[in-house]
A = this chain, B = another copy of it.
Amino acid sequence: MQAPDKNRLSINTATVRQQWNLKQIIDGCARHDIRGISPWRDQVQALGLQQTAQRIRSNELFVSGYCRGGMFPGVDAQARRAADEDNRRAVDEALALNAACLVLVVGGLPGESKDLAGARSQVRDGLGRLLEYARNVGMPLAIEPLHPMYAADRACVNTLEQANDLCDELGDDGLGIAVDLYHTWWDPKFYAQLERAGRKRILAFHLCDWLVPTRDLLNDRGMMGDGVIDIRAARLAVEALGFTGAHEVEIFSAHNWWQRDPDEVLETCKARHQSHC
């Protein structure tokens, strides 16, 4: 019944990062015939950019996204310049890895600020600066709206509508959205804003489940099927819009999946992908 293409499954390396280093994760994906991967910058730095790129290529994996750039707001111009430079390096690394996009977690309130509207302006400005650079080198930027519970400390872009507004303002060319169900499933405008985004803007599609109860704001995400999100409905909706990218599984789970045998985790991801995505 409308099961997903198994070749579109991708593993965000956060899912097994407590058990394996990046080399082991790449080998694990290949061994389990999972074709996509989305690595984090710190892991790439540890393994080395060229070695990571080579290893991903030799295992014939695709990179569904690179995690991550962003964190635009800063307490002063110097902090923002440092973020700009770091973000340009992230773009370069994403290119070296042949990533489908650079995922952007845009950042929250800088320092002791309570000025959320100001932080959002800083995001727009920083994003505009990075976009100029990324467009020149041809790396798509994917704004990832994060759940409102992260508005203060991680990302002050919290809805698909905001992300669409930013795309309208800054221009679609080379700019789009990473749709993560964990962050957006609750939104009464979820489907309307997906449609507004359309095929062109949807650059990444991240999956996990929302557990009830959720015991931790950061590291209690669920395996697909263990929570309340109608993942299949959302996947069918993005594909009905023409999205042909990966189904990227990203599970932060301190007390459950990070405690398990990583081979079991990957096998479970594959099975749940077929049964629940």
Contact = CB atoms under 8 A, between A and B. Distances in A.
Interface residues of A, number: 30
A109 B158 contact: no
21 contacts: A116-B185, A116-B186, A147-B148, A147-B149, A148-B149, A148-B187, A149-B149, A151-B185, A152-B186, A152-B212, A152-B227, A152-B228, A153-B213, A158-B186, A158-B187, A158-B188, A161-B188, A162-B188, A213-B217, A214-B217, A217-B217
B152 A210 contact: yes
Q: Is the interface of A mostly helix, strand, loop or mixed?
A: loop
Chain B CB within 10 A, most for which of A186, A210, A213: A186
A267 interface: no
A121 to B, nearest CB: 12
A60 B156 CA distance: 43
B148 A114 contact: no
Interface string A222-264: 0000011110000000000000000000000000000000000
A21 to B, nearest CB: 27
Given A116-B230, A215-B217, 13 more contacts: A114-B230, A115-B230, A116-B185, A148-B148, A148-B149, A149-B217, A152-B186, A153-B213, A159-B188, A161-B188, A162-B188, A213-B217, A214-B217
A237 to B, nearest CB: 12
Contact of A186 (B114, B148, B188, B215): B148
A109 B149 contact: no
A218 to B, nearest CB: 8
A242 B156 CA distance: 29
A35 interface: no
A68 interface: no
A221 interface: no
Interface string A50-82: 000000000000000000000000000000000
Contacts of A120: 188
A235 B188 CA distance: 26
